[in-house]
Amino acid sequence: MDIALGMYVYTYPEFCEEEVQASVPRPWGFKVFEIVNGVDLEKADLENPEHPGNCDTTYVYVVEKVNVDSLTVCRELNKLLGCSRCELLGLKDAEALARQVAILRRCSRPMSSTELMYRNGYFKAVLWSCTDFLIHVGNRFYISIVFEEDRDVKAIQKRLESVQKHGYKFFELFWVPEVRYKETCDSSNW
């Protein structure tokens, strides 16, 4: 499907058709950290955070999560802190170690930090800022790959050379399978 949509060609013209037998051990083999306001959240100290002062209506938390999807984190923080709304700068893979920002509005029970075990995962949220003036620069990824054969290592090395040649940039591509559009823009019948 990616090829039919032109995603490989558009992203990296040196498409390699060689199949690779490899896996990524989850969740610890896939790590993603947002870069916000010039801060790589991998380096954010969640054990000894700087207190941002008194927040009025906006509470910005750095959330570290493992095996929990981003929307569940928002829903649970809303309930736990008594907030009216939660916003994310982006969704992060559920089966990964991730750090991201969650913006919470009008919280009746804000806390400087909180932790929650959730099914087979957990998340920790630390109050980071009181302003929603946030500039999301991108994400930093660390991906561990386990190869089945040596030839697979060589194929991946070729692909990484292509990525390096293009400045290690990746486009965010989302596939939405069912989008309905009505010219009247009347969403009541969607």
The band of 100, judged by pLDDT with boundaries at 50, 70 and 90, is very high
Calculate the CA dihedral of residues 60, 74, 65, 96 and round it to 10 degrees.
Answer: -120
- pLDDT tens per residue, range 137-166: 889 999 998 888 777 788 888 878 877 887
pLDDT at 61 over 70: yes
- What pLDDT sits at residue 22? 83
Report the alpha-carbon distance of residue 16 to residue 155 in Å, rounded.
8
Q: Residue 27, preceding bond cis, omega within 30 degrees?
A: yes
The domain 30-139 having CATH identifier 3.30.70.3160: the answer here is yes
Q: What number of CA atoms fall less than 13 Å from residue 50's CA on the CB side?
A: 4
pTM: 0.77
% of the chain with per-residue pLDDT over 90:
56
Highest mean pLDDT pick, 121-125, 162-166, 169-173, 185-189? 121-125
Answer left, alpha or beta for residue 119, where phi above 0 means left and psi between -120 and 50 means alpha.
Answer: left
Taking residues 8-29, what's their average pLDDT?
Answer: 74
- Segments making up each domain of the chain, as ranges: 2-24+147-189, 30-139
| Residue 147: predicted pLDDT | 83
Q: In the prediction, which pLDDT does 148 show? A: 81
Tokens of 21: 């037998």
DSSP H or E stretch at residue 5? helix 2-5
Q: How confident is the model at residue 83 (pLDDT cuts 50, 70, 90)?
A: very high
With beta carbons less than 8 A apart as the criterion, state whether 152 and 21 touch.
Answer: yes
Q: What is the pLDDT of residue 183?
A: 37
pLDDT given at position 152: 79
